[in-house]
Amino acid sequence: MMKQGALEGVTIVEIGDELTQYAGKLLVDMGAEVIKVEPIEGVPARHVGPFYEDKFDLNGSLYFWHYNTSKKSVTVDMETEEGQQSIRELLGRADVLLEGNKPGEMKGYGLDYEVLSKEYPELIYCSITPFGQTGPWSHYQASDLTQLALGGIMQVTGYDDVPNAPPIAPTGGQRAHIAGYFSAIAIIGALLHRDVKGEGQYIDISAHDCIVVCTEMSIPYWEYQQAHVYRQTGRHALPHASSQWNFKCKDGKHIICLMTYLNGTRWDSLVAWLDSYGMAEDLMDERYKNDNFRATQMTHVNEVLEKFCVTHDSAYIAHTAQSLNLPWAPIRAPEDMLEDLHLVEDRKAFVQVEHPELGKSFIYPGAPYLSNETPWQLLSRAPQLGEHNQEQKQLKEQISML
């Protein structure tokens, strides 16, 4: 018998797009029923490529496929009274409303928290916006790029081997992912609160707030040392300039040779390994065992490591380093991860998802965590536009007959 997800029996109405879709995915994968409310023409995410077989199709966006697996899709014209009533009917059996509209927009539809909380006092209402519901920035326009700039992440990201290099933004929709994680956590916390207190609540998620608390070490270093971090190629930003630990190997691949967290045992093991190939040079000098002395000589240490790495394959270096308790790792390409038996077989990090309308199945990212009692599950492909309109209509008729 298939075990139930942690959120089995929880119904979530999602009215949103880029900022809500990842939170909705995290929750539906935990077992919740997520009903995605879309405008008649579909949400903008359906227009984001690439597309299946490189042909534009509202049901063929691979971007939409990924972020909306296992959800249901109903189309509603929220500009009309009929559409607004349809939303209310969905909320009548829902536990959570997850929305990503502009501040005040839901009030214009008569669907704001102040109104709905009176009708549905146990409703959890989560709004995700770029800058939150209050403050002078609440109606500012934003994108992933501008929010990474405003949130401080770009200030510590870039290259130290390019003269006068500008800050660089990481790719992959960071703001939506960060906000999605925090939103899912907040919603789960609100569900637990409702179980105890029997009351719903309003959750105001600002993507800007979420990004700011993820700037790692830049704010603490400024706060305590008045020091700016340096943008460094292939390495986290640090408050001082240090050489790279990114070396090319014999097989043409690169490896990260992390040289922090070195204690005496690790250093001795590293030097002995290098010496077994006659490549330790002067690192066997007793002075290198002193952390302070070694820190002043890291450029030379890295030069020795660079010579060593280029004479060996990346897999050998990585596995041997790990056996010596050194936290080194190869820099992986997508094809490497898809062929990694640790990910594919042991961790089930990728799963096959059927697309019955295409008569094919495709590989999707799998479980980000493994729970033995309330397992993560990817039940179905993303919904086609309005695929569940008839299902919701029939459910409405059944409820009206009770």
Stretch 353-364: mean pLDDT, rounded?
Answer: 96
Residue 185: pLDDT band (50, 70, 90) is very high
In terms of DSSP H, where are the helices of 242-290? 264-275
Question: Which range has the worst mean pLDDT, 47-56, 220-229, 310-319, 347-356?
Answer: 220-229
Stretch 354-365: mean pLDDT, rounded?
Answer: 96
Stretch 225-249: mean pLDDT, rounded?
Answer: 70
Sequence-separated (6 or more) residues with CB below 8 Å from residue 199 = 121, 122, 193
Alpha-carbon distance values, 343 to 145, 350, 375, 393 (Å): 31, 8, 17, 42
Question: Is the confidence at residue 235, as pLDDT, over 70?
Answer: no
Stretch 6-23: mean pLDDT, rounded?
Answer: 97
C-alpha to C-alpha distance for 145 and 143, rounded to whole angstroms: 5
Dump pLDDT digits (tens) for 262-279.
778 899 999 999 999 999
Question: Is the confidence at residue 135, as pLDDT, over 80?
Answer: yes
Percent of the chain whose pLDDT exceeds 90: 72
Alpha-carbon distance values, 86 to 39, 227, 283 (Å): 12, 55, 73
- pLDDT at residue number 241: 46
Residue 246: pLDDT band (50, 70, 90) is confident
- pLDDT at residue number 232: 72
Maximal CA-CA distance, the chain? 86
Sequence-separated (6 or more) residues with CB below 8 Å from residue 23 = 98, 126, 128, 179, 180, 181, 183, 184, 187
Question: Is the confidence at residue 240, as pLDDT, over 70?
Answer: no
- pLDDT at residue number 236: 57
- Is 156 or 29 the better-scoring residue by pLDDT? 29
- pLDDT at residue number 3: 80
- Is 224 or 193 the better-scoring residue by pLDDT? 193
The answer to whether residues 143 and 180 touch, using CB atoms and an 8 Å cutoff, is no
DSSP designation for 342: I
C-alpha to C-alpha distance for 39 and 327, rounded to whole angstroms: 49
C-alpha to C-alpha distance for 116 and 123, rounded to whole angstroms: 8
Stretch 144-170: mean pLDDT, rounded?
Answer: 85
Q: Specify burial of residue 198 (Cβ count, 10 A radius: 0-12, 13-18, 19+).
A: exposed
The residue written with tokens 């209509």 in the block is 393
- pLDDT at residue number 27: 98
| Distance from the first to the final alpha carbon of the chain | 31
- pLDDT at residue number 35: 98
Stretch 9-14: mean pLDDT, rounded?
Answer: 98
C-alpha to C-alpha distance for 52 and 302, rounded to whole angstroms: 45
Question: Is the confidence at residue 151, as pLDDT, over 80?
Answer: yes
- pLDDT at residue number 243: 47
- pLDDT at residue number 165: 78
Question: Which range has the worst mean pLDDT, 154-163, 324-333, 383-392?
Answer: 154-163
Stretch 87-113: mean pLDDT, rounded?
Answer: 96
Sign of CA dihedral 95, 99, 103, 107: negative
- pLDDT at residue number 242: 46
Sequence-separated (6 or more) residues with CB below 8 Å from residue 226 = none
**Nearest C-alpha neighbor of 57 from the set 366, 354, 355:** 355
Neighbours of 296 (CB within 10 A): 10
- pLDDT at residue number 365: 93
Alpha-carbon distance values, 114 to 90, 123, 124, 203 (Å): 18, 11, 12, 12
Stretch 350-366: mean pLDDT, rounded?
Answer: 95
Question: Is the confidence at residue 252, as pLDDT, over 90?
Answer: yes
C-alpha to C-alpha distance for 351 and 353, rounded to whole angstroms: 6
